[in-house]
Amino acid sequence: MYFGEYDLPELADDEVRVSVKAAAINPFDWKLRQGAMKLITGRRFPKAMGTDFAGIVEAVGGKVTNVRAGDEVFGTVDFKKSGAFSEAINVDAHHLARKPPQLSFSEAAALPIAAMTAWVAIIDRVHAGAGSRIFINGCSGAVGAFAVQLAISKKAHVSGTCGPASMGSAKAAGVDPIFGYSDRQAYAQNGRFDAIFDTLGTLDVSDSLSMLKPKGVFVDINPTPGKMLRGVLSRRYKLAFATQGIQHLPAIAELAGNGTLRPTIGLEAPFSDALSVIADAENGRRSSGKIVLAF
Ligand SMILES: NC(=O)c1ccc[n+]([C@@H]2O[C@H](COP(=O)([O-])OP(=O)(O)OC[C@H]3O[C@@H](n4cnc5c(N)ncnc54)[C@H](OP(=O)(O)O)[C@@H]3O)[C@@H](O)[C@H]2O)c1
C-alpha cells in the first residue's frame, strides 16, 4: 500500500464530486488487496482502495437531481473501482444518499456496506418479523450488529455468538442468549430457528441445518465457489451481498436518523495513518466498532 496523487477525471453527467470527510474500512478492502476479490474487481494492480465514505458534495453532473453542491452525503464508490480512501472522489449519483443530520461523518461512513448487507440478509432473505427466531453467528461485527438491530426492530428474537470482549455490547443490543464461538453444543440445543445468519462464514452449513425449523433458511455472506453452487441448488441456503446505493441507502439513512440503526466507531484515525491502520485491521486487530479514516 502507498499514498498516491491523481487528478480526478472530468465529472460525468450522472456523477457527483464529493469532498470526503470520513471513509470506513471493511474486510473487503484487504480482501481486494490480497487478490481474493479478483472475480469482482479484476486482476490488475495497482488499485485504489476504500468503498464506504461520507462527505460534502462539491459539484454535480448535468443530469443529477437527487443532491446538490453543499449537501452532506454518504455512500459507496463502485465496488469494481474502489477509491474512497481519497480526499475527493467522483461517485455515481445512485450510489449515495443524504447523510442523516443526527450522525457525524464518521458514523455515516460506517453504515453503507455493513448495513446494506445486514438489510439484504435480515429483510430480503430472512423476512424477519414478529416472533421470528434468528441465530446470528458473529453478532458483534459491523454486519452482525446491524443485523441484530434490524431483526430486533422487526420484533424478532435474536440469539447468537461473539467473542468474550463483545458479550457486554451484544447483551445491551438485546441478543439473548449469547454464546461463545466454541459453544456449538449449547447453541444447537437452544431450540429450532427460522434463520441462521452466519456473518463470519465459520459454521458448517450441513451440520447447522439441523438447528433450523423445517422451512428455516441459512444465510451466508462469505461466498466460495462451492457455496455459490449450493446457493443455486438449495432452497434453504442463501447467499447475501451488499447492494450499491439507491436500492437501500435512503431507507438506511432514515433508520439511522431515527436511532434504529446505531453505528459504533471503534477507532477514528487520521487519513495520514491509513497504511498502518489498514494493515493492523488486515492482521486481525480487534476493534469494538468500525475503523474510520478521518480527513
Ligand atoms: N457478501 C457481502 O457482500 C459482504 C459484505 C460485508 C461483509 N462481508 C464479509 O462478512 C464478514 C464480516 O464482515 P464485517 O464487516 O462484519 O467484519 P467486522 O466488523 O470486522 O466483524 C467481524 C467480527 O468477527 C469477529 N471475529 C472472529 N474471529 C475474528 C478474527 N480472527 N479476527 C477479527 N475478528 C474476528 C469479531 O467479533 P468478536 O471480537 O466479538 O469475536 C469481529 O467483530 C467478512 O468476512 C466480510 O468480508 C461480506
Question: Would residue 149 count as lying in a domain?
Answer: yes
Q: In this structure, are 82 and 147 located in the same domain?
A: no
In this prediction, residue 190 has a pLDDT band, given cuts at 50, 70 and 90, of confident
> Whole-angstrom Cα distance, residue 3 to residue 162?
35
Q: In this structure, are 121 and 214 located in the same domain?
A: yes
* CA atoms within 13 Å, Cβ hemisphere of 233: 6
What integer pLDDT is reported at residue 244 of this predicted model? 79
In this prediction, residue 136 has a pLDDT band, given cuts at 50, 70 and 90, of very high
Q: In this structure, are 122 and 104 located in the same domain?
A: no
Check residue 60 and give left, alpha or beta (phi > 0: left; psi -120 to 50: alpha).
beta
Q: In this structure, are 192 and 232 located in the same domain?
A: yes
13: pLDDT strictly greater than 80: yes
What integer pLDDT is reported at residue 245 of this predicted model? 72
Q: Which domain holds residue 280?
A: 15-111+263-294
Question: Would residue 139 count as lying in a domain?
Answer: yes
Q: In this structure, are 181 and 135 located in the same domain?
A: yes
Q: How confident is the model over 179-202, as a mean pLDDT? A: 94
217: pLDDT strictly greater than 80: yes
Ligand 1 probe mutation, 25, 26, 278, most atoms within 8 A of CB = 26
Q: Which atom of ligand 1 is nearest to the CA of 240?
A: 1
What's the total number of domains in the chain?
Answer: 2
Atom 10 (ligand 1) nearest CA? 199
117 lines ligand 1 (CB under 6 A): yes
Higher pLDDT, 13 or 225: 13
Ligand 1 probe mutation, 40, 51, 117, most atoms within 8 A of CB = 117
Domain CATH for 64: 3.90.180.10
Ligand 1 probe mutation, 200, 261, 267, 285, most atoms within 8 A of CB = 200
What integer pLDDT is reported at residue 42 of this predicted model? 83
Q: In this structure, are 25 and 71 located in the same domain?
A: yes
What integer pLDDT is reported at residue 49 of this predicted model? 95
**Which pLDDT tens digit goes with each residue over 144-173?**
999 999 999 999 999 999 999 999 999 999
What integer pLDDT is reported at residue 213 of this predicted model? 96
Q: In this structure, are 101 and 171 located in the same domain?
A: no
In this prediction, residue 79 has a pLDDT band, given cuts at 50, 70 and 90, of confident
Question: Would residue 208 count as lying in a domain?
Answer: yes
Q: Which atom of ligand 1 is nearest to the CA of 162?
A: 40
In this prediction, residue 40 has a pLDDT band, given cuts at 50, 70 and 90, of confident
Q: In this structure, are 33 and 102 located in the same domain?
A: yes
Domain CATH for 184: 3.40.50.720
Question: Would residue 251 count as lying in a domain?
Answer: no
Q: In this structure, are 160 and 139 located in the same domain?
A: yes
Q: In this structure, are 163 and 234 located in the same domain?
A: yes
Q: How confident is the model over 249-274, as a mean pLDDT? A: 97
> Whole-angstrom Cα distance, residue 274 to residue 163?
26
Whole-prediction pTM: 0.96
What integer pLDDT is reported at residue 35 of this predicted model? 87
What integer pLDDT is reported at residue 12 of this predicted model? 98
* Contact predicate 187/179, CB 8 Å: yes
Rounded to the nearest 5°, which phi and psi values hold at 289? 175, -170
Q: In this structure, are 77 and 62 located in the same domain?
A: yes
C-alpha cell at 226: 462451492
Question: Would residue 7 count as lying in a domain?
Answer: no
